Amino acid sequence: MNEAIFLITALLLLIVSFAFFLVRTISKLRKDREKARKKEESQVGFIVGTFQELVGKLKEKEKELDALRRKAEDRADVIENYNEYILQSVPSGVISFDSDFAITKVNLAAERILNLVSSDVIGKDYHDVFGEPLKGILDGKVTIERGEIQYTTPSGKDIYLGLALTPLVDATGKTIGQLMVFSDLTELKALQSQAELRDRLSSLGEMAAGMAHELRNPMAVIAGYTKLLAKKTDPSLLHVVDSVSKEVAVMDRIITDFLSFARPAEPNISRVDPGQVIRRCLAHLIAERNDIRARYALQGIPSLEGDEILLRQAFTNLIQNAVEAMPQGGELGFSFTKDAHAVEVSISDTGHGIPEKIRDKIFLPFYTTKDKGTGLGLALVHKIITSHRGSISVESNENGTTFRLRFPLATAAMRSRRATGDP
């Protein structure tokens, strides 16, 4: 009995010990598993945290890169705008073409010089935009370092261009088109022509003065003898003597005009109202021409520093020529424009015009197309205008002629005289 109790007790102790061991083992396993899980979660959290930190840094770098990109784009825009400002501000015309010679860019100076509108021509082939000789130059597709041509704009204005045509290359040196750069030489050509004409007229005037004086002496002798002949000749021959006297008078008038042209012009300077001078000349010259209408637009024209007598002579010659160019009647127009330095007076008519082939000769002395003209009228006009430090130009076609007289304004003229020491 005691042994059975002992065995049962021992068995129970063994079972309890095993159960306790089993519980401890399971608890340890659970703890180890929990610890492993926590460790795994910690590692995952570290990885996730590290990843999120990297993502955050990448986003910051992305923001910095985006800011740098925006700065680069802004800088590129600034540079592009600056280049555009330079292109649009240069006084020379600039036109670019792509590899097929279609127009890609036209600056403001090119629009003004060639009378174009960039929005109307960009993208077009040059054949559809330009006339000759520009079209022929572009057809040649050769490099031109410096050339000069005469060109007629779409409005019909004749201009002189100095131009260069060069390949347009990119940063790698590859040719991507052509670039044409040009300047308006019209005013410069006019000034050169005026200077050349002034020199020629000056030399001719010096020579003419001597010849005129030499001719006047024998003419005076002839005139004296014709008066004696008129008193002693047979009445039936008086008409012959009268004819000689008239021809002598004509020759004397020519010599007088010649001397007026040859005599150095020394303007007696005073303040002159050109509008009033023109009115007086006009009233005298068209008094008997009811078929001529005057269009007068000189209200507000500024005063000039000049010689009123010489200016009256110049305006009279120009108006007289205009009246004679309208034998069937027409319209005389007077207008002016001005800028900060000069005033330009325009005298236009609706007469037969001046043929293009003789326009370069009209200011030469003794050149005339009139039967009874001396050819000194426009030569004197040119001399008078240039003696006032001005210039004169002419535009003419079959519908009429316009003379443009450009004078320095009074203040500019006074400064010029003081600078040169003139009275």
Which pLDDT tens digit goes with each residue over 374-387?
Answer: 667 788 888 888 88
pLDDT at 152: 85
C-alpha separations of 174 from 72, 144, 145 in Å: 25, 19, 20
Residues 273 and 415 in one domain: yes
Q: What is the CATH number of the domain that holds 249?
A: 1.10.287
Compare 281 and 204 and report the one with higher pLDDT. 281
- Residue at a domain's end among 146, 161, 184: 184
Q: Dig out the tokens for 279 from the structure.
A: 């009115």
The answer to the question of residue 32 being in a domain is no
Domain around 160: 89-184
What percent of the chain clears pLDDT 70, i.e. is strictly above it? 77
Compare 90 and 43 and report the one with higher pLDDT. 90
Transcribe 358-369 into DSSP letters: GGGGTTSTT---
C-alpha separations of 178 from 166, 181, 351 in Å: 6, 10, 45
Mean pLDDT of 103-109: 89
Cα distance between residue 272 and residue 311, in whole Å: 9
Q: What is the CATH number of the domain that holds 398?
A: 3.30.565.10
What percent of the chain clears pLDDT 90, i.e. is strictly above it? 8
Cα distance between residue 358 and residue 413, in whole Å: 32
Which pLDDT tens digit goes with each residue over 185-215?
Answer: 887 777 777 677 666 666 666 666 666 666 7
pLDDT at 80: 60
Domain count, the chain: 3
Q: Which residues pair with 179 in a beta bridge?
A: 96, 166
The answer to the question of residue 144 being in a domain is yes
Asked whether 399 and 353 are in contact (CB, 8 A), the reply is: yes
Is 49 a residue whose pLDDT tops 80? Answer: no
Residues 310 and 195 in one domain: no
Residues 259 and 122 in one domain: no
pTM check: above 0.95 = no
Q: What is the CATH number of the domain that holds 134?
A: 3.30.450.20
Residues 271 and 390 in one domain: yes
Residues 304 and 251 in one domain: no
pLDDT tier for residue 81 given thresholds of 50, 70 and 90:
low
Is 346 a residue whose pLDDT tops 90? Answer: yes
Is 261 a residue whose pLDDT tops 70? Answer: no
Residues 297 and 362 in one domain: yes
- Residue at a domain's end among 243, 264, 285: 264
Compare 340 and 418 and report the one with higher pLDDT. 340
Element (H, E) at 235: none
- Residue at a domain's end among 146, 169, 184: 184
The answer to the question of residue 20 being in a domain is no
The answer to the question of residue 321 being in a domain is yes
